[in-house]
Amino acid sequence: MTTKLIIPIVNINGDTKDTLMADLSHVREKLDQALKALQSAGASYAHGRNYQLNPAGEGREAYQQHAWRVDKLAKIAHELLEIQYEISQQGK
């Protein structure tokens, strides 16, 4: 599903541009940490040797599920970066 990103518009009644940018930076930093942790953990828990006694094909499926999770987090981080960029282009 492709969804149009809805960008906050900096205005006198809302949060300041600096607040919005700082909040997004904080969230992106935490997402980046989570992404790195997930990638690192996946090198071990999604490794085929951990599924040797499982039914055939489950190790490959486990790795595919792991890759899907990594991809989703990366996409969310990228969307937040796009929102941050669009906010940065707005006047004060």
> Tens of pLDDT along 34-77?
999 999 987 787 888 888 888 888 888 999 999 999 999 999 99
The number of folded domains in the chain is: 1
| Domain, as residue range, for 24 | 17-48+55-88
Cα separation of 56 and 80, whole Å? 39
Q: Which of 39, 28, 21 is nearest to 89 (CA)?
A: 21
Which of the four pLDDT bands, split at 50, 70 and 90, describes residue 2?
low
Question: Is position 22 within any domain?
Answer: yes
Cβ–Cβ under 8 Å, residues 77 and 35:
yes
Mean pLDDT within 11-34: 96
Question: Is position 64 within any domain?
Answer: yes
Question: Is position 4 within any domain?
Answer: no
